[in-house]
Amino acid sequence: MKKSFLHASAFLLLILFAACSETMDLPDAGSNQNTGINRDPNKYVRISPDWSFDALDLQTPLDIFPAANGRLYIADSAASRIRVIRPSGEIESGLYDTLASLPLDPAALCMDARLNLYYCDQGGKIYVWPEFSANTGIRGIVTAREYKIAGKDTLLHPLTGLALGLTAKTNGDIIDTTQTALMDSLTRPSVFYDPASVMNRNGLYNTETGVLIHAGNPVYAQMRKSFVALAPAPAAELSIYALDAINNYILKITMIPALLVRLSNGQNVWHYTGMLESFVATAGTGAGTVSDPLSMCTDNGGNIYYTQTGDFFSVHKLSTGTYRADFSVAADDIMRLDEFAYARDISVAPDGYIFVLDTLDRDVKMYKSDGTFMKSVAVREEWLRLSDSLYVNDSLVVRDTLVLQQYPDLLKKPMALCYYQDVLYILDNGNRRILRFTKVDDVIIENPDREE
């Protein structure tokens, strides 16, 4: 755990409390000076009560993701399901029952801006559940759309019109409502990305002209893979990122439109299939390379962060678009060789602060966006008041000092964390609970759910 000291009153106190402490002088009698205990703008306090795994019916959760729809998605590997809860701790059911019994053991997940939930089981495929379509309901399949071409109304397949960059006429869609089996299947989980599929092996072609649209990757299709983390790309890029732990790759997987559906609310939405676009990071031992990766996330700007246990550096950041390393070796705290014991997971707040879960140090290390260390959170803190005396101008002066002691005994084998609406959530698997910490120390959090 990190150590820092503020205004130590004497050298002796530095010696006695150098182990994980902060010190601060108390003001003189009669002074109106703020002591500073509550002046820390990054002070995190624990929200009570903790959420027990038993109350949430969790067995071995491995990942947690906060979505824009106000839900927390938890990959419970041992239970072969994804548990969905509200920020109040209420378990979601009904619509979400489709995730309660999966034919695999989910280990990582994420959700994109279109409310598509992606997940994987540390195997070689990525799955998707289109929550928005499932929640809204599908009225039919759009089989043709009317376009104005050379002044003439022309019916084309939606994929053809999309490929040609045409704009469909209003109320010119042909909707097939008879394919009930297909429509039902589109509201359930399915395979999103299979590296060994025909499209990913051989490439994507225009079925009418035979022109290659997107090249395949037959070499990667034959390799053994283990996807251990997923993260959304910016919404405009129609992509997600996947972390392959066996081959030390970060993949960018593009969303290929496959089917246009008409929802019950009258809206048209595309359903997608995944295709490898590129490897944004590959194996290596330097900044921005991958070596035995563990976790990954993205921030609001589209930058990629990931943790790993391989050679030299535990935490990396890749800038959006260029995918170049954004942290400097030996210059930024977050890239120091001895910075982490086991950087198990990482999350980034909307204001750019970075949180790294260190399983062996049993804390969460907080950094500025530039990688400068701020403090350890998710640790127990106690202020101790100590008195000391010294001579000032031949007069004996008694001086009090507050010493902040930090004890890393709250967490036991923590597995994952996420940050959502000023609250830090931590899966504390060893103690079978979810801990929550917030920056606001005078707020009463009862039921933050939105009104339905």
Tell me if the bond preceding 49 is cis, omega within 30° of 0.
yes
Pairing of strands 268-281, 249-263: antiparallel
* Of the candidates 336, 396, 349, the residue with the CA atom closest to the CA atom of residue 377: 349
Q: What is the DSSP letter of 326?
A: -
60 backbone dihedrals φ, ψ, rounded to 5° = -135, 75
Q: What angle do CA 138, 129, 84 make, to 5 degrees?
A: 110
Q: What's the gap between Cα 90 and its chain centre?
A: 21
Per-residue pLDDT at 219: 97
Per-domain residue ranges for the chain?
Answer: 40-137+187-386+408-438
pLDDT > 70 in the chain, percent = 88
**Token pair 């089996």 in the structure block, residue:** 181
Residues 6+ apart with CB under 8 A from 148: 154, 169
Per-residue pLDDT at 393: 79
Report the 10 Å Cβ neighbour count for 68. Answer: 10
Separation between Cα atoms, residue 280 and residue 288, nearest integer Å: 9
Q: Tokens standing for 281?
A: 């990071």
**215-251 per-position pLDDT tens digit:** 999 999 999 999 999 999 999 999 999 999 999 999 9
| CATH code matching the domain that covers 40-137+187-386+408-438, chosen among 3.40.50.970, 2.120.10.30, 3.10.129.10, 3.40.91.50 | 2.120.10.30
For CA atoms 285, 291, 295, 298, give the dihedral sign.
Answer: positive
CB 110 within 8 A of CB 231: yes
Q: What angle do CA 440, 92, 446 make, to 5 degrees?
A: 30
Separation between Cα atoms, residue 154 and residue 166, nearest integer Å: 11
Confidence class of residue 16 from pLDDT cuts 50, 70 and 90?
A: very low
Per-residue pLDDT at 137: 97
Q: What is the mean pLDDT of residues 179-195?
A: 97
Per-residue pLDDT at 1: 56
Q: Using alpha carbons, list the distances in angstroms from residue 191 to 49, 129, 143, 203, 225.
A: 38, 9, 22, 18, 15
- The dihedral over CA atoms of 103, 105, 108, 109, expressed in degrees to the nearest 10, equals 30
pLDDT at 444 over 90: no
For CA atoms 415, 288, 319, 372, give the dihedral sign.
Answer: positive
pLDDT > 90 in the chain, percent = 76
Q: What is the mean pLDDT of residues 430-437?
A: 98
Q: What is the mean pLDDT of residues 253-275?
A: 97
State the burial class of residue 395 (Cβ atoms within 10 Å of its Cβ: 0-12, 13-18, 19+). exposed
Residues 6+ apart with CB under 8 A from 89: 51, 55, 56
**Token pair 């490897």 in the structure block, residue:** 279
Q: What's the mean per-residue pLDDT of the chain?
A: 88
**78-123 per-position pLDDT tens digit:** 999 999 999 999 999 999 999 999 999 999 999 999 999 999 999 9
Confidence class of residue 39 from pLDDT cuts 50, 70 and 90?
A: low
Per-residue pLDDT at 231: 98
Per-residue pLDDT at 157: 94
Per-residue pLDDT at 147: 95
CB 287 within 8 A of CB 305: no
Length of the chain: 452
The residue that leads in pLDDT, 447 or 433, is 433
Strand ranges, E, within 206-335: 212-214, 227-232, 239-244, 249-263, 268-281, 293-298, 304-308, 315-318
pLDDT at 37 over 90: no
* Of the candidates 85, 117, 166, 69, the residue with the CA atom closest to the CA atom of residue 272: 117
